[in-house]
Amino acid sequence: MANRLRLTALAALAMLSVFTCGAGVAVAAMLPARLALWQIPRVAAVPLATPAKVLTPAAATALAPTRRGLAAALGALLASRSLGSHVGAVVTDLATGRVLFSQAGTSPAAPASCAKVATAVAALSVLGPTARFTTRVVNGRTPGSIVLVGGGDPTLAAGQAPAADYPQPATLASLAAATAQWLHSQGRTAVRLGYDVSLFSGPLTAPGWTTSYITTGNVTPITSLEVDQGRLTPAGKPENADNPDNYRPRSFTPAADAAGSFASFLRGQGIRVLGAPATITAQAGA
């Protein structure tokens, strides 16, 4: 009797193992092919750079912030509707650890993406608050050619962005319309198009980035010319790359895609684009 029970148990375990393996194969077959490209990232073995001071330390004689002063300075800002319905903030004295200001500081909430705050502070320190990213079109080196010059604008869109987007981005559609108007005023109806990405130098991807980061819609190669954050629909309609439900793969060639989109907009304005857009460096001072 004991042997029969043992054999029955072994047979049941064997059948369960076969079923589990079969289910795993079936589930894997149903997953998107691009998920199979996920890889464990490798962190590059490079020394960390020592950051320079961005904010000037307060003078030794400066008054320390107070609870009342912080509440007066931050209250109206934190009450802004643009921040949403659940806003929490905490200000702590790093020297003493004392909490100087707290609004919903103990309420559970998903942490915000805070790295962009440090990036914004660094950009403001280096570039200044009045800096602008400008995408331009200039005459090419050869007669009958023009060059689309990337200015590093990460928000550049193909067509009109949704009205709710703030700030409204610059668009290739409006740039193409202005370019076509100028070309028509010069009696030109056909051009050869080049695109210049020389503003940025160095590798297109960061150390440790894998192919899956692009195919799963997380990043696109870093160039000074990209449109819709590396995503282009067949109709050239902008997509919201910050939409957490948007897993559309990004482009491996964002600059070429942007130039191709610009060429399409030019054709829509009655300008013939001869051949395919090509990478070129614009003339100095153009």
Nearest to 41 by CA among 186, 216, 161: 216
- Statement to judge: residues 166 and 228 lie in one domain: yes
pLDDT at position 35 = 45
- Statement to judge: residues 141 and 259 lie in one domain: yes
CB atoms within 10 A of CB 223: 19
CA distance linking residue 229 with residue 212, whole number of Å: 17
| Residue 110: its H or E element | none
- Statement to judge: residues 208 and 86 lie in one domain: no
- Domain assignment of residue 267, given as a range: 136-279
Residue 49 half-sphere exposure toward CB, CA atoms < 13 A? 3
- Statement to judge: residues 141 and 246 lie in one domain: yes
Tens-place pLDDT, residues 128-156: 889 999 999 999 999 999 999 999 999 89
CA angle 259, 33, 44 (to 5 degrees): 70
- Statement to judge: residues 147 and 79 lie in one domain: no
- Statement to judge: residues 196 and 275 lie in one domain: yes
The total domain count for the chain is: 2
Entry pTM: 0.64
Q: What is the mean pLDDT of the chain?
A: 80
Tens-place pLDDT, residues 228-249: 888 756 554 555 555 556 667 7
CA end-to-end span of the chain = 93
CB atoms within 10 A of CB 125: 12
Residue 108's pLDDT band, with cuts at 50, 70 and 90, is confident
